[in-house]
Structure 1
Amino acid sequence: MAVKNIGIIMNGVTGRMGTNQHLVRSIVAIREQGGVELANGDVIMPDPILVGRNKDKLQLLAEKHNISRWSTDLDECLADPHNVIYFDSQTTVRRADAIRKAIEAGKHIYCEKPTATSLEESIELAKLAYGAGVKNGVVQDKLFLPGLLKLKRLIDSGFFGKILSVQMEFGYWVFEGDWQAGQRPSWNYRKEDGGGIIVDMFAHWRYVLDNLFGNVESVSCLGKTHIPKRVDENGNTYMCTADDAAYATFELEGGIVAQVNSSWTVRVNREDLLTIQVDGTHGSAVAGLRECKIQHRINTPKPVWNPDIENPFAFTEQWQTVPDNQVFDNGFKIQWELFLKHIAAGEPFPWDLLEGAKGTQLAELGLKSWEERRWIEVPELSLEVRKNGEAVNSAR
């Protein structure tokens, strides 16, 4: 058994998501479990170097998690041949420039989404990566949530029959920052800083819908800025220039209709912050982040509309819980392990920069639909580049 140490530049991990999900629950957890074992018995051991602009935060984070390397000099890290992967979880407006530099340095790319602030730039990054011959991947974490894995299990088993519709409800109340601090950073509410729930969440909904139910073919979207003013982390009041809620309908291949509400201005009266209801000819399911409940057609009640009597049905009690049947690990960690195997052993990893560009595409078209108040078709994205004289088409 050989241990393969892989240097990973982790840029932007002092933020909430970068620290908790990518560093602590993924890379640190992988190191503590003894690495990632390959099929031949070799072990991949990630060797991170934390990169950012605040040296005090970096040093504290590194010391807390027993990481020996940190730096405020990205160029120096990119020049080090020990570092073979560049990971980016910075704010979106900073991401593309750093990824370009990493591609030029010959590093494999793994990054958060959105991959860039525009579809044009997202496609450019994908072309640059494939042209340079570097492997690349984009975080698509919700595919690995226990609730969605159970939903995928149901789909693969044929439980639903013909899937007719999908209804997704996502969100919670983010405090305005005056009498209680907000749970999200203030830049999320400024369009000029890359904020907005459409830009943020449509990147997720694209890969969830594409991978579970079928490719998104068209979109109708209405965005809203329900809260016009908020208070930032320093106690300063600012005007919100980005949307904080989006009400969208997507048509998927096969005629499936998906209705998706996303909001940071909603109080939760459901079982989870994200619920996905799928209705089919043979059965229905409602999945949250971890749980999934089903109702088959043979167990479906037969209500009759009658507002003049008390409701005789306990509808929520008429669903069965899908069992775990497996141990579910952290979704970010699972995808990190898959990407490390992709780098070290060439194992498949379909969630590349082109897939990330599809999320940016859907966000742009959602914003356009809102602006023009009409349905917008979603054209298929393809990517052809030249490598060793041969055309490579990475469209899915």
Structure 2
Amino acid sequence: MTHTTVRIAMNGVTGRMGHRQHLVRSLLALREQGGIGLGDGTVIMPEPVLVGRSAPRLRALAERYGLREWSTDLDAVLADDSIDVYFDAQITAAREEAVKKAIAAGKHLYVEKPTATGLSGALELARAARDAGVKHGVVQDKLFLPGLRKLRRLAEGGFFGRILSVRGEFGYWVFEGDWQPAQRPSWNYRAEDGGGIAADMFPHWEYVLHELFGPVRSVQAHFTTHIPRRWDESGTPYEVTADDAAYAVFELAGGIVAQINSSWAVRVHREELLEFQVDGTEGSAVAGLRGCRVQHRSATPRPVWDPDIPADGRFREQWQEVPDNDEFGNAFKAQWELFLRHVVRDEPWHWDLAAGARGVQLAGLGLKSSAEGRRLDVPELTL
């Protein structure tokens, strides 16, 4: 058995996402399972090196998980020739400068989305990584969720026939922070720090729509701030400067129409926090984070509109659950495994910084559409 160690500088792991999903549930979980076996006796073993601004928080994480190395000096870590990969889960406003440093140091890159605060910055990073010859990836975790993997299986198997429309509902009530602590960090609500639901969620919707149904050709969106005043982590009130809800219509290649509502000021009345309904000529499906239900053309009931007569039966009970037929692990962990195989063995990979730039582009066009009150075309990006 041959062990190939991949040393990964992880910047931003003191934050919720970097800590829980990327460190604990991905890289530490891969270590606990004995690494990533390549089938020929070779095992990839990730080795995290924690990076951040707070020495006490980094030290506490390292001690908690038995990790040997941590540092508040990013430049020194990037100058270390033993570091193979740079990972970034910082706040968006801090990402571009750090990723540029990692490219200059010749490190492979794996970064959270959005990759930059604007399209020009996102394209600059993608071009710099390409020209430097480093391998690069952007987190697109929704594609690896069990529910969406089932949805992809249905689409690739021709279940839908001709797809007509996609409707997405995402969101939940994020407490304001005064009488109950907020579930999201306060920087998410400050535009000057790269916050806002456009920057956060539109990159997700871009890659989900692009990969499952087709490229986005146009967008018409309305963004708003429903809750204008919130309280930060110290209990201090602040004025919200970023959008907290988005209502958008996307036209996809082939004429598919997608409608997606995103809100941090909505209460959940559905099976999961995120659901997509796909309707086609041959069948329909509703997929969430984990589950997926279908109704085929041959099993579609014949509803008749009559508000004076109670509905005969519950409509949700007329759908069939899609079986797992596979073992679905953590979505972040699944993509990390593919990226590390790409780094070590150059296995196929297309979730790169160019794909990340498309998400940044869509967020920017959505905001522009909302500000100007009109539909905008989405031009194809070229590096």
User: What's the counterpart of residue 387 of structure 1?
Assistant: none
User: What's the counterpart of residue 324 of structure 2?
Assistant: 324
User: What's the counterpart of residue 23 of structure 1?
Assistant: 23
Residue 314 of structure 1 deviates from its aligned partner by 1.4
User: SS at the partner of 1:83?
Assistant: coil
Residue 170 of structure 1 deviates from its aligned partner by 0.0
Distance 2:2 2:81 in 1: 20
Distance 2:314 2:233 in 1: 45
User: What's the counterpart of residue 11 of structure 1?
Assistant: 11
Distance 2:185 2:366 in 1: 23
Q: How many residues align?
A: 383
User: Amino acid of the residue matched to residue 63 of structure 1?
Assistant: E
User: Amino acid of the residue matched to residue 376 of structure 2?
Assistant: I
User: Amino acid of the residue matched to residue 198 of structure 1?
Assistant: A
Residue-by-residue CA offset, 1:128-176 (whole Å, 9 max, x unaligned): 0011110100000000000000000100110000000000000000011
Residue 41 of structure 1 deviates from its aligned partner by 2.3
User: What's the counterpart of residue 314 of structure 2?
Assistant: 314
Distance 2:90 2:374 in 1: 33
Residue-by-residue CA offset, 1:316-361 (whole Å, 9 max, x unaligned): 1000000011110101001101010001011011100000000000
User: SS at the partner of 1:164?
Assistant: strand
Q: Is 1:338 equivalent to 2:351 in the alignment? A: no
User: SS at the partner of 2:217?
Assistant: strand
Distance 1:303 1:31 in 2: 53
User: What's the counterpart of residue 247 of structure 2?
Assistant: 247
* Aligned counterparts, 1:1-396, within 5 A: 1-383=1-383
User: SS at the partner of 1:338?
Assistant: helix
User: Amino acid of the residue matched to residue 158 of structure 1?
Assistant: G
Distance 2:304 2:329 in 1: 43
User: Amino acid of the residue matched to residue 292 of structure 2?
Assistant: C
Residue 198 of structure 1 deviates from its aligned partner by 0.8
Distance 2:18 2:252 in 1: 32
Residue 37 of structure 1 deviates from its aligned partner by 1.2
Distance 1:66 1:328 in 2: 27
User: SS at the partner of 2:26?
Assistant: helix
User: SS at the partner of 2:152?
Assistant: helix
User: Amino acid of the residue matched to residue 374 of structure 1?
Assistant: R
User: Amino acid of the residue matched to residue 70 of structure 1?
Assistant: W
Question: In terms of mean alpha carbon deviation, does 63-72 or 289-298 score higher?
Answer: 63-72
- Identical counterparts, % of pairs: 64
- After the TM superposition, which parts of structure 1 deviate over 4 Å for at least 4 consecutive aligned residues? none
Residue-by-residue CA offset, 1:1-23 (whole Å, 9 max, x unaligned): 21011110000000000000000
Distance 1:192 1:315 in 2: 45
TM-score (norm 2): 0.99
Distance 1:167 1:325 in 2: 25
Aligned-pair RMSD on alpha carbons?
A: 0.7
Residue 256 of structure 1 deviates from its aligned partner by 0.2
Residue-by-residue CA offset, 1:364-391 (whole Å, 9 max, x unaligned): 00000000000000000121xxxxxxxx
Distance 1:382 1:193 in 2: 28
Residue-by-residue CA offset, 1:208-255 (whole Å, 9 max, x unaligned): 000000000000000010011111111111111111000000000010
User: Amino acid of the residue matched to residue 31 of structure 1?
Assistant: R
User: Amino acid of the residue matched to residue 308 of structure 1?
Assistant: D
Residue 179 of structure 1 deviates from its aligned partner by 1.0
User: SS at the partner of 2:276?
Assistant: strand
Gap runs ≥5 in structure 2: none
User: Amino acid of the residue matched to residue 159 of structure 2?
Assistant: F
Distance 1:137 1:314 in 2: 44
User: SS at the partner of 2:279?
Assistant: strand
Distance 1:14 1:26 in 2: 15
Distance 1:379 1:39 in 2: 42
Distance 2:281 2:167 in 1: 15
User: SS at the partner of 2:84?
Assistant: strand
Distance 1:162 1:25 in 2: 38
Distance 1:148 1:41 in 2: 32
Distance 2:172 2:160 in 1: 29
TM-score (norm 1): 0.96
Distance 1:231 1:304 in 2: 48
Distance 1:48 1:289 in 2: 28
User: SS at the partner of 2:13?
Assistant: coil
Residue 39 of structure 1 deviates from its aligned partner by 3.9
Residue 309 of structure 1 deviates from its aligned partner by 1.3
